[in-house]
Structure 1
Amino acid sequence: MSAAQVRVSVLGPMELTVDGRPVAIGAPQTRTVLALLALGSGSVVPIDRIIEGVWGERSPRSAVLKVQGHVSALRKALHGAGAAAAAAVLVTRPPGYQLGGEGYCCDMDEFTGAARRASALAAAGDAEASCELLDQALRHWRGPAFADVPGDEVRLHAARLEQLRSIALEDKAAHDLRRGRFWAVLEDLGPELDSNPLGERARELVIHAYLRLGQRHAALACYEAGRTLLQDELGISPGQSLQRLAHLIRHGAAPGVEAGV
């Protein structure tokens, strides 16, 4: 009999499923415990780290017992999903707990693994395969990472994942730009600029896409919007690459797609 498939999805609202069936995670602190275990990526997560991740510096005296209770609740939820063997993916290993093993998967690990392989393919000169792999990696995202999970430590990890997602989006857009898929660049990076308007690399890629589509005025407007935001929010000017690009646009030049883009 094959092992049950336990999946934790964190690239969006957190979900727990067993063989594709949703499992109720429970209280907010239970969600945080599950998130911290998932962040361990198959390694043992010490109970002290879990306590700090759930309560920070204000942990109760009964914190160890409370963590044990949350882990027990997760095991019961897995068992109650109809696959008793699923509980084997959450085991006690001193000095804490480990989530992983046969039958376990997490969209975070799938995304980061695919992004690393895509980077290696790009470095080896296989831009086509790299772009396809990045597209697959980005499909794991359903919304902001750990969208409904409380805890400062989880939020820090969420920010790191969001940064990796932005890099993957920009890398894919750079590949698409070189392949002449200009509308794909705008479709992918338009929402990215809405949520992260200070991202200069994304803005530069969008400007290049507008130029390749013959929309010089839109390209210049995109630059000016970024320049104004940087000045108003941070009190700085755009980087040299963006400034050089704007200079070429204003003087009627047709800049090429640079390798650094």
Structure 2
Amino acid sequence: MPRASGAVLGALNVATLLLSIPIIGAGIWLSHRGSTDCERFLQRPVIALGVFILLVSIAGIAGACCRNNCLLWIYLLVMFVLILLLFCFTVFAFVVTNKGAGSVVSGRGYKEYRLGDYSHWLQRRVDNDNNWRRIRSCLQDGKVCQSLQEKNQTLNDFINSNLSPIQSGCCKPPTACNFTYASETVWVKPAGFNSSDDPDCNTWSNDQSMLCYDCQSCKAGVLANLKHDWKKIAIVNIVFLVFLIVVYSFGCHTFRTNRRDNSYPGYKY
């Protein structure tokens, strides 16, 4: 069909334009209704992403429907850069999350995590005081440890529970500390305890605002959770990358067709 690629390109960009509307709406909602610093922190990136998708979609629609080669050229350039960045980020995500896994603890249903098992790049991110201050604030706002404490488990139930990486690393001391269980987030240090080879044993506090939030195990738990999330994001990115390549291909075909028509006005399909 004549100009079929332009019609398909326009339809695909209409779909992405419609997608941008709920993304922008989510950003505006976070700016007004976000109850924590973590939620409010997301508002600007979400709104920026939505506006970016909106503008690129409009350029693609205008270029395809109005046969404006200048807009199409800008659109294709932006799409190429976006594809390149998305490809690089996907590869990077797989590389930096390749290392690191929880260690099985004898007689426990949960795993424990060590910061040194993860990539140096990720370690530097959480070891940065400013970064960790924000992450710690998010953990406290999320009430991860508080929700664990509300279970009121016995010791046997607790040691057989399947804790999340963050709960295991931030809400309890490492098993090697040999502290006595009082509740999920209250552990009694042995009499005469002064120090330990594991610095996390000294960092642990029964103060519910402190717990093990500054422990190396807590940072490792955050990275374990991040690794899991990044793996899922990388898979979604691959699907999105394929979609972008398809759209880019239609865009290139439409651009070539428009340029040919402009060069030979009398040309008919």
Fold similarity call, TM over 0.5:
no
Greater relative contact order (CA < 8 Å, ≥ 6 in sequence): 2
Task: Name the TM-score, length of structure 2 as normaliser.
Answer: 0.28
Greater helix percent: which structure? 2
Greater strand percent: which structure? 1
Larger radius of gyration: 2
